[in-house]
Structure 1
Amino acid sequence: MDDFLAARLQMAFSLGFHIVFACIGMVMPFFMTVAHFIWLKTKNPVYRDVTKAWSKGVAIFFATGAVSGTVLSFELGLLWPKFMEHAGPIFGMPFSLEGTAFFIEAIALGFYLYGWGRLKPWFHWATGVVVGISGLLSGILVVAANSWMNSPAGFEFADGQYFNIDPVKAMFNDAWFSQALHMSIAAFASTGFAVAGVHALMILRNKNVQFHHKAFKIAAIFATIAACLQPLSGDISAKDVANRQPAKLAAMEAHFHTEKSAPLIIGGIPDEKNETVKYAIEIPGMLSFMAHGDFKSEVKGLDSIPKADRPPVAVTHYAFQIMVGLGMIMLGIAALYFFALWKKRNWLAQNWMHKVFVFATPAGFIALEAGWTVTEVGRQPWIIHGVMRTADAVTPMPGIAWSFYLFTAVYISLSCIVSLLLYRQITMVGRLYDSSTQS
């Protein structure tokens, strides 16, 4: 394995690990504070127990996300020093603001975890709200930095030098809103379905049904609302990509030839050598409409992009198809759940409904990983779109392959430890619930 590939794989593995725990850390505090709010209003002890159980999960994910995020920060400097040398002064503002949001989140989480019985009830609840808001802001600010890589702004570049730097314009670049919106909703959808699926499984196992039913309902509402909003944010994001990064859109859709009334390709196996797609379903004119709002508009294909500047088509296309396919499945589950709430409330207590959510437990996170694959692989060969190539940013230090093996082993070990902690936390819920009902 050459050092360039090892550096890319290490960054990909680190990001793929971190994004799951970061998203859970962003979203779970909102679940926690909703349960806390209901307890304060109703004094139902079950909601207090749900709040306490979820708060311990928030602490675990906060610690894991903080550690893995710190590693990512170091990796940017160690693996991609040329990138940080030039880009750091331009897009450093969102990273510094993210650090501030992180500190606020850490302080508020400390107040929340140790505030039971020590702080006034509504002030205690407010500290949980601060945890959620600051965590969400942290994610949005990190996405602002990534969106700058896709849509560089806030500087002028000539003769290898960057000047007239404007950090505010860099942070609020053209891709910022669409990426932040899409990512935030994806975090709620993926975490919501995962949490709802875990509690649905406990209901099916007939363990502390009342406790898990309350928790399931909160998570399911968040998940299904987010699943309904996600296609709208995806449409905004896709239109933005069509205007700014036509090569990425072409790779996403395996669209090799520039044409008007371009068809939407569903599935298929891209053949990059012959620039064809086998076994695909085509919907005439739909890609033109989805990209530009007109069934007859022209959509640029990969044939309009120099071969040296084309992203890997197969990986980008398959990842995009996975993301969209799972998004449609989650949307279908959301429609089913809302129909049950509206017309068939007896369905909500049926085992098959809970089995549907158990089946969907990993769907959001698989879609999330696929979406980030589209974002990152679809930008290649650029680390800063149109400005700096990824190959030019990698460190000249040898032996990166060994670093990749070491970090992979560390992340796998950390995943096992976190999974064990979460399993113990879930199994302890029964004792927590039993003790609360007896008090």
Structure 2
Amino acid sequence: MDDFLAARLQMAFSLGFHIVFACIGMVMPFFMTVAHFIWLKTGKAVYLDVTKAWSKGVAIFFATGAVSGTVLSFELGLLWPKFMEHAGPIFGMPFSLEGTAFFIEAIALGFYLYGWKRIHPWFHWATGVVVGVSGLISGILVVAANSWMNSPSGFDYVNGAYLNIDPIKAMFNEAWFSQALHMCVAAFVSTGFAVAGVHALMILRKRNVLFHSKAFKIAAVFATVAACLQPLSGDISAKDVARRQPAKLAAMEAHFHTEKNAALIIGGIPDTAAKEVKYALKIPGLLSFMAHGDFNTEVTGLDKIPVADQPPVAVTHYAFQVMVGLGMAMLGLALLYFIALWKKKQWLRGRWLLKLFVIATPLGFIALEAGWTVTEVGRQPWIINGIMRTADAVTPMPGIRYSFYLFTAVYISLSLIVTFLLYRQIAMVGRLYDSEVKPQND
């Protein structure tokens, strides 16, 4: 393994783990505060129990997200010094503001975790809201920095020099809104289905059914609403990519030939040598319409992109297909759940619906990882789109593969520890209710 590949793999592996921790840390506080709000309004003890159980999960993921995010910040300087040398002064503002949001989140979480019976109940609840809002803002700011890499702005690039730097324009680049919207909705989808799936499993096992039923409903509502919004945010994002990064769109769709009335490709195996996609379902004109709002608009194919500037087609295409396919599956489950809520109440008592949520537990995070693969691999060979190539930004320091092995071991260990802590937390809740017979208000 050469050092360039090792550096890319280390960054991909680190980001792949961090994005899961970060998304859960962004979204879980909102679940927690909803349960807390219901308890304050109704006085039903089961919602207090759900709130306290989820608050422990928030604490776990806040800690792991902070650790994994700190590692990523060090890796930017360690692995990509040329990138940071030139890009740091331009897109550093969202990172500095993200640090401020992180500190606010940490302070608010401290108030929340240690404020039970010590501060006014509604002020205590408000600190939980601050945890959620500041965490969401933190995520948006990080995505703003990443979107700058896809849509660099806020500077003039003249003879290899970065002049007339405008950090505000860099932060609010053309891609930040579509990427931030898509990422935030994805965080709610992935976390919502994961949490709902865990509670659905506990219900099927008849472990503290009341507790897990209340928790399931809160998580399921968040997940299903977000699943319905995700195709809309995806459409906004796809149209933005079509306009700014035609090479990425061509790789996503394995669209080899520039043409009008371009077909949308579903599935298939790209053959880059033959410049075709085998075994795919093609819907004529739909790609042109989805990318540009007109069935007859020309869509740029890979034949218009220099070979040296083309992204890896197969990886980008497969990841995009996985993301869209799983997104559609979760949308279908969301529609079933809404039908059950509004028209078919008896479905809510059926085990089959709970089993579907259990099956969907990992789907959101798989789609999330696939989406980030599209974002990052689809930008290659550029680390700053159209400005700096990834190969030119890598560190000249030798032995990066050993750093990759070390960081991989650290992240795997961290994941195992988090899994153990969460399993113990869920088991403790089950034992609590198995050993105590206490009245609950439904």
3-state SS in 2 of match to 1:269: strand
Q: Which residue of 2 aligns with 1:400?
A: 400
Q: Is the 8 A contact 1:45 1:436 kept in 2?
A: no
Aligned partner of 2:223: which letter?
Answer: A
**C-alpha distance in 2, partners of 1:292/1:97?**
34
Q: Which residue of 2 aligns with 1:236?
A: 236
Moved more, 408-417 or 323-332: 408-417
**C-alpha distance in 1, partners of 2:79/2:158?**
25
Aligned partner of 1:99: which letter?
Answer: G
1:431 Cα deviation after fit = 3.9
Q: Is the 8 A contact 1:140 1:184 kept in 2?
A: yes
The residue correspondences of 1:286-301 to structure 2 (distance < 5 A) are 286-301=286-301
The residue correspondences of 1:17-416 to structure 2 (distance < 5 A) are 17-416=17-416
Aligned partner of 1:133: which letter?
Answer: V
Aligned partner of 1:234: which letter?
Answer: G
**C-alpha distance in 2, partners of 1:270/1:353?**
36
**C-alpha distance in 1, partners of 2:291/2:386?**
21
Give every structure 1 segment of 4 or more consecutive aligned residues whose post-TM-superposition deviation is greater than 3 Å: 431-436
3-state SS in 2 of match to 1:280: strand
3-state SS in 2 of match to 1:396: coil
**C-alpha distance in 1, partners of 2:186/2:43?**
32
Q: Is the 8 A contact 1:45 1:437 kept in 2?
A: no
Query: Which deviations, in whole Å up to 9, do the C-alpha atoms of 1:217-271 show, x marking residues without a partner?
Result: 0000000000000000000000000000000000000000000000000000001
Aligned partner of 1:204: which letter?
Answer: L
1:366 Cα deviation after fit = 0.1
**C-alpha distance in 2, partners of 1:224/1:312?**
33
1:160 Cα deviation after fit = 1.3
Aligned partner of 1:229: which letter?
Answer: L
1:438 Cα deviation after fit = 6.5
3-state SS in 2 of match to 1:395: coil
**C-alpha distance in 1, partners of 2:423/2:349?**
25
**C-alpha distance in 2, partners of 1:349/1:158?**
65
**C-alpha distance in 1, partners of 2:7/2:414?**
20
Q: Which residue of 1 aligns with 2:438?
A: 437
**C-alpha distance in 2, partners of 1:374/1:397?**
28
Aligned partner of 2:438: which letter?
Answer: T
1:437 Cα deviation after fit = 2.7
3-state SS in 2 of match to 1:267: strand
**C-alpha distance in 1, partners of 2:128/2:250?**
43
RMSD across aligned positions (CA): 0.9
1:274 Cα deviation after fit = 1.4
1:430 Cα deviation after fit = 2.3
**C-alpha distance in 2, partners of 1:131/1:286?**
42
**C-alpha distance in 2, partners of 1:314/1:157?**
32
Gaps of 5+ in 1: none
Q: Is the 8 A contact 1:319 1:370 kept in 2?
A: yes
1:66 Cα deviation after fit = 0.2
**C-alpha distance in 2, partners of 1:165/1:230?**
34
**C-alpha distance in 2, partners of 1:87/1:273?**
36
3-state SS in 2 of match to 1:259: coil
**C-alpha distance in 2, partners of 1:144/1:359?**
33
Query: Which deviations, in whole Å up to 9, do the C-alpha atoms of 1:2-56 show, x marking residues without a partner?
Result: 0000000000000000000000000000000000000000000000000000000
**C-alpha distance in 2, partners of 1:250/1:62?**
38
**C-alpha distance in 1, partners of 2:169/2:297?**
31
**C-alpha distance in 2, partners of 1:225/1:54?**
20
3-state SS in 2 of match to 1:299: coil
1:436 Cα deviation after fit = 8.6
**C-alpha distance in 1, partners of 2:160/2:38?**
57
3-state SS in 1 of match to 2:438: helix
**C-alpha distance in 1, partners of 2:112/2:275?**
56
Q: Is the 8 A contact 1:60 1:418 kept in 2?
A: yes
**C-alpha distance in 2, partners of 1:106/1:432?**
29
**C-alpha distance in 2, partners of 1:55/1:140?**
22
**C-alpha distance in 1, partners of 2:193/2:364?**
7
**C-alpha distance in 1, partners of 2:133/2:414?**
27
1:119 Cα deviation after fit = 1.0
Tell me the percent identity.
83
Aligned partner of 1:383: which letter?
Answer: I
Gaps of 5+ in 2: none
Q: Is the 8 A contact 1:194 1:362 kept in 2?
A: yes
Q: Which residue of 1 aligns with 2:424?
A: 424
1:432 Cα deviation after fit = 4.1
